[in-house]
Amino acid sequence: MMVNRNVRTLDEFTIQQMRDFPNATGELSNLLRDIGLAAKRVNVEVNKAGLVDILGDADMVNIQGEDVKKLDVYANNQFMGVLKHGISCAGIGSEEIDDFIAFDDPVSNNSKYVVMFDPLDGSGNIDVNVSIGTIFAVYRRVTPKGAPVTREDFLQAGIRQVAAGYIVYGSSTMMVYATRRGVNGFTLDPSIGEFSLSHPDIRCPDFGRIYSVNHGNFFRYEKPVQAYIDHCQRKDKHNGGPYTQRYIGSMVSDLHRNLIKGGIFMYPGTTDKPGGKLRLMYECNPFAFIVEVAGGRATDGTQRILDIVPTGLHQRSPLFIGSRGMMDEMDGFLGNDPD
């Protein structure tokens, strides 16, 4: 089969971006390529999940008290490994690790970035062959180089992200990442084993027809959230409704679809979990960054996600995210001034 050499690979694209900035050190490009490599390794295991004895719980619970699947552990080790052995990352925070890790070796102590990630998102879906993902957020360290990174380097507001992205292990495997310059999507081409630029300059449509929420929790949501969901289900001369409800239960897949097609995704607080379920640092913030760069919005119901000043690596936040027009409409129901 002929390979189309006009398609740029992830490596070619990141190098090209670097060439456009003569002062760039290439550290971010390196870091993104390291993440791409780990993603390819995880992808191989995800593809084999139904075949090999990797299914099932690893007889552990993570610090959130949730079951850890073996692939979560594998993915965590792959992403941590490439970042530790690379030259761009001084330390990491992960859903699967209690505290942040400062790599603390001479090269890492002089590296510019810290990375926070959810190594495998939607892992409850592994056993049933439904798309899962990885989410990552990249920050520039705030403490001086030359020493191990500290808590201060990790607990930065989302607005300070330098880059953020996700991998979706789906009907094809894709890596999508954002910098302030734009959002670009790369599809893994199995014939050459490379991510190839397939979705340049992704923009989130201002309006869509999809709303994504766990309806089972409906009676645990606050009344204004219920009122908005109710609105999504009605035909209304303004909204052209009813909207279509889609909820996979892997936020990576739900948000990837909504980013491309337009839509709104909600994980509100509930009566039993008023702070919601999703983790600010490696679920809400990276997606808020990606969606904002693509033209959309993200809030916790009252304030912009990216403005939240974090107090803990694993803190949770309600999340409302998606197309700008739909977010504005929802704000009307929540009693917020539309943007």
Site residues, Mn ion (CB under 5 A): 95, 118, 120-121
Shortest Å, Cβ 288 to Mn ion? 14
Q: 10 to each of 76, 87, 275, how far by Cα in Å?
A: 22, 18, 37
Q: Which of 249, 295, 310, 332 binds ligand AHG (CB under 6 A)?
A: 249
Minimal distance, residue 131 CB to Mn ion, in Å: 13
- Which positions from 270 through 299 interact with ligand AHG, judged by CB under 6 A? 277
Other C-beta atoms closer than 10 Å to the C-beta of 21 total 11
CB contact burial 79-104 (16+ within 10 A = b; e otherwise)? bbebbbebebbbbbbbbbbeebbbbe
- Cβ burial of 261 (10 Å; 0-12, 13-18, 19+) is middle
Q: Does 121 bind ligand AHG (CB under 6 A)?
A: yes
Nearer of residues 250 and 299 to ligand AHG, judged by Cβ: 250
Minimum separation from the CB atom of position 122 to ligand AHG (A): 4
Q: Among 80-88, 96-104, 117-125, 170-178, which window interacts with ligand AHG (CB under 6 A)? A: 117-125
Dihedral through CA 145, CA 151, CA 153, CA 156, nearest 10?
Answer: -170
**Location of structure tokens 């790599």:** 103
Among 250, 258, 299, 317, binds ligand AHG (CB under 6 A): 250
Cα distances (Å, whole numbers) of residue 7 to 10, 170, 292: 10, 21, 26
Give me 64's structure tokens. 């959130």
User: Cα(314)–Cα(2) distance, rounded to whole angstroms?
Assistant: 47
Name residues contacting ligand AHG, limited to 208-227 (CB under 6 A): 214
CB of 283 to Mn ion, least distance (A): 5
Given a contact cutoff of 8 angstroms between Cβ atoms, the answer to whether 267 and 277 are in contact is yes
Q: Judged by CB under 6 A, does residue 123 bind ligand AHG?
A: yes
User: Of residues 93, 122, 165, 185, which one binds ligand AHG by CB under 6 A?
Assistant: 122
Question: Measured from the CB atom, is 250 or 323 closer to ligand AHG?
Answer: 250
Sites of contact with ligand AHG (CB under 6 A)? 66, 95, 118, 121-124, 214, 249-251, 277
